[in-house]
Structure 1
């Protein structure tokens, strides 16, 4: 069964987003092993965004060090975009490879990939989304792709 860890900087503080995410987790856990890890993000003012980005990136890098064999993808507006069928194909390949997949969502100041050195990037959209919404969008696309692969009625 496909195993994915979604790791984010910052907790979900929006109850509507949390409720939506919970509904997707319930549905997804029948199709894959999905786990979310929330790393604490530091508070910052607008003038301190670069310091926060650095600190969050170091924290994320330390987390990723615990999973040396995982295939890690950074979600960014500059990443590779897929349509739903291509996304489903990618999920199928991940499942066939049997490798743990980690999907990284940064916090408000973003992440410094010079520190993380993540080679593979994905995009849910060319737009920038708050991490809470990005998580819900990611969960929906995971569910959509997995239901396509399972030949379930969801994607039309």
Structure 2
């Protein structure tokens, strides 16, 4: 199983990146995981113009990666618990998670994904959402593999 987390990030936070890396290492017991940070000049410019332009730039940046099973994280997505989240890992496939940019996703992009979920009704900074997502991926894989971490 391959798991990729895509984020729209323009800067690094060494402490949160280290935490994400630690979860990626823990996940590697069960699956290959990686993160892909995307931030282009087009995204930076679009974000200064407006929401519509920013969302369009996120879609343009993410669309080439819509292969396999695609899950978008969106505040309006379906809330799932950890047990339900673990069901995403029932198939041995390539799973892509997409964390939206500052202005969220275009409806057109969301329509190209297989699932739209929310980690919470709270809004998180992208870096924090990414760490929470990696923790839930690890937890979900532990549930799937009957590992005691979830207990």
- TM-score band, normalised by the shorter chain? 0.7 to 0.9
Aligned residue runs from structure 1 range 68-147, under 5 A: 70-91=68-89, 93=90, 95=91, 98-115=92-109, 117-119=111-113, 120-147=115-142
Provide structure 1 residue ranges, at least 5 long, that are not aligned to the other structure.
Answer: none
What's the RMSD between the two structures over aligned residues? 1.9
Q: 1:115 to 1:73 in 2, by over 3 A?
A: closer
TM-score, with length taken from structure 2: 0.85
Contact 2:69 2:96 in 1 (8 A): yes
Partner of residue 38, structure 2: 39
TM-score, with length taken from structure 1: 0.82
Provide structure 2 residue ranges, at least 5 long, that are not aligned to the other structure.
Answer: none
How far apart, in 2, do the equivalents of 1:12 and 1:27 lie? 24
Cα drift, residue 117 of structure 1: 2.5
Contact 2:110 2:116 in 1 (8 A): no
Cα drift, residue 89 of structure 1: 2.7
What are the superposed Cα offsets for residues 42-82 of structure 1, whole Å, 9 maximum, x if unpaired?
A: 2233x523322211212212332xx2xx1111111111222
Q: 1:12 to 1:149 in 2, by over 3 A?
A: farther
Contact 2:85 2:140 in 1 (8 A): yes
The number of residue pairs the alignment matches comes to 146
Structure 1 residue ranges (4+ consecutive) displaced by more than 3 angstroms after TM superposition: none
How far apart, in 2, do the equivalents of 1:143 and 1:12 lie? 24
Is the partner of 1:154 in helix, strand or coil? helix
How far apart, in 2, do the equivalents of 1:115 and 1:149 lie? 29
How far apart, in 2, do the equivalents of 1:86 and 1:111 lie? 23
Q: 1:11 to 1:36 in 2, by over 3 A?
A: farther
Could you tell which deviates more after superposition, 115-124 or 23-32?
115-124
What are the superposed Cα offsets for residues 5-45 of structure 1, whole Å, 9 maximum, x if unpaired?
A: 11112255222211110110111111111121222152233
How far apart, in 2, do the equivalents of 1:3 and 1:12 lie? 25
Cα drift, residue 90 of structure 1: 2.9
